[in-house]
Structure 1
Amino acid sequence: MKTAFITGANKGIGFETAKQLLQKGLYVYIGSRNLESGLQAVEKLKAENLTNVEAIQIDVTDDNSVKNARTEIGKKTDSLDVLINNAGINGGAPYTALEASSEQFLSAFNTNVFGVARVTQAFIDLLKKSPEPRIVNVSTSVGSLTLQSDPNWFGYNFAKYAVYGSSKSALNMFTVHLAYELRDTPFKVNAVCPGYTKTDFTGFNGGEVEEAGKRIVKYALLDKDGVTGKFISEETNPTTGEIDW
């Protein structure tokens, strides 16, 4: 049975992704900063007869918490097939480059970039033991330098979140380097935008969470011929999914 670990999976897109992976027969570890929230998420899934699931406490901004999560999962499995770095924050208001505080930037980068690096480095040994390891870094089209500088992009005049966008652009760069370093291995590493989705993150505006989860799951379960080192936004490019960085 394949195994997957998803950070920030107690609610929203992370929870939906966990649900869909369980439906496809994977064993899923739900990462949650608050263990009680994770346990509640597990109970919701088990109520739907999705029983191959466990909650793991993890704060991606804390080195010891990440190490403890790695230890806990290591007690339960010898390998990990899928890592989905989903935990993220928007940095809070004000959102503009001239008004956002340094604390906002530090907080967003600590979760959205440094947190992904911490988790990936902590779990890479388990992933390397999988015959088909997959890493999905949950990103956003808002982090595309190309789109943000294109006046013809539909989000040009309203998707201006300097803190969040900057952190996701940095995450994209991390993804490029990670994919490069793992290029001659069975790994598939991609940055995937789930799209603007109805969750508490967006004030429950946008598309359906089921579609967002489906987009992530697709790249978490790529076959050996799947893409790697790509930036994917099927919302932006429904044809191939690939968009410019």
Structure 2
Amino acid sequence: MTDKRTALVTGANKGIGYEAAAGLARAGMTVLLGSRDRERGEQAAARLRAAGGDVRPIVLDVTDPATIEAAAAALTRLDVLVNNAGSSGPLDETPSTTPVQSLRAVLETNLVGVLMVTNAVLPLLRRSPVARIVNVSSGVGSLAHHTDPGHYMSGLPASATYPVSKTALNALTVQYAKELRKDGILVNAAAPGACATDFTKDLPFKITRTAADGAAIIVRLATLGSDGPTGGFYDDDGIVPW
């Protein structure tokens, strides 16, 4: 096995996923840029190659088992998995007005998709001596934030979709960390913070934090040393309370 590591980033043709791919490429990795749309993925990978990165597009829809299986079958090595692909769901639905299909759709991407992709590539990760899994969560997945009257998130509108999916993703992260600790695979959740991307463009307030700012914690967790933490939830400032 050569020293050059290989990383797979899902949902990486734009936004935080794109910047995470860029950061991992700058760290010297071969990066597989996952995208549902082939053309957009190829264009994003070409931009990163033009900047000097070893970046290759791969078609991957985390809700489609066929594309997951095809992507996994095409790999011969994997050291880092960044589960970044995500869905926000409707922003104007409270729990009492949320159709069950809205919750199911968000969970299919933000939770079930993470499970399917991770399990598909685990055989390769188990062969790596430096395997890392980073699940891209969100501060809105913190139950502590929502129940702390002094935290601004306690005043956000109630939602049964995106925050719920990220809380569940945090729990899944802990369970993978428990299982994979014996294999030396470090598994952590990252909270990139609210960044100015297509994901947040419809919010009623201006965001100045960039996607590159948000991707920094993802890259940091993806490049942890062997003595790094596992089963944690982190942002720029350190540990995020569950």
Which one of the candidate residues 113, 119, 135 is aligned to 2:111?
113
| Rounded Cα–Cα distance in structure 1 between residues aligned with 2:63 and 2:103 | 14
Corresponding residue number in structure 2 for 1:9: 12
Report deviation, 1:80: 0.7
- Secondary structure class of the residue paired with 1:16: helix
Cα distance in 2, alignment partners of residues 161 and 26 from structure 1? 38
Instruction: Decide which of 59, 62, 78 is 1:60's aligned counterpart.
Output: 62
Secondary structure of 2:182's counterpart equals: coil
Q: CA deviation at 1:47?
A: 2.1
Residue of structure 1 in register with 2:239 after alignment? 242
What residue is the counterpart of 1:126 in the other structure?
124
**Pairing partner for 1:70 from 67, 72, 79:** 72
Cα displacement (A) at 1:94: 2.6
2:135 touches 2:190 (CA, 8 Å); kept in 1?
A: yes
- Tell me, what secondary structure is at the counterpart of 2:213? helix
Aligned residue number for residue 35 of structure 2:
32
Question: In the TM superposition, what whole-angstrom CA distance separates every residue of 1:15-66 from its partner, at most 9, and x where no partner exists?
Answer: 001111111110000000111110010111122222x111110110111111
TM-score, length-scaled by structure 1 = 0.92
**Identical positions, percent:** 42
| Distance in 2 separating the partners of 1:242 and 1:53 | 30
Q: Secondary structure at the match of 1:162?
A: coil
**Within 5 Å, which residues of 2 pair with 1:176-195?**
176-195=174-193
Are 1:93 and 1:100, in contact at CA under 8 Å, matched by a contact in 2? no
User: Does the 8 Å CA contact 1:94/1:100 hold for their aligned counterparts?
Assistant: no
Query: Residue 147 of structure 2 corresponds to which residue in structure 1?
Result: 149
**Which secondary structure state, in structure 2, belongs to the residue aligned with residue 156 of structure 1?**
helix
Separation of aligned partners in 2, 1:30 and 1:195: 22
What displacement does 1:206 show? 4.0
SS in 1 for 2:181: coil
- Determine the structure 1 residue equivalent to 2:97: 99
> Secondary structure at 1:5's aligned position in 2?
strand
1:43 paired to 2:46: yes
- Give the 5 Å matches for 1:175-214: 175-203=173-201, 205-214=207-216
The number of residues matched between the two structures is 235
- CA spacing shift, 1:19–1:176, aligned 2, 3 Å: same
- List alignment gaps of at least 5 residues for structure 2: none
Where in structure 1 are there 5+ consecutive unaligned residues? none
Cα contact 1:95–1:161 (8 A) shared by 2: yes
Q: Rate the CA distance shift 1:163–1:206 in 2: closer, same or farther, 3 A.
A: farther
Cα distance per residue 1:166-224 (max 9 Å; x no partner): 11111111111000011222111001111111111011724122211111100000001
Distance 2:224 2:193 in 1: 19
Code of the residue aligned with 1:137 in structure 2: it is N
Whether the 8 Å contact between 2:196 and 2:208 is mirrored in structure 1 is yes
Moved more, 206-215 or 79-88: 206-215
The two structures have a TM-score, normalised by structure 2, of: 0.94
1:68-98 alpha-carbon deviations (Å, 9 max, x no partner)? 11112x2xx3x21100000000112333111
Secondary structure of residue in 2 paired with 1:98? helix
**1:216 equivalent in structure 2:** 218
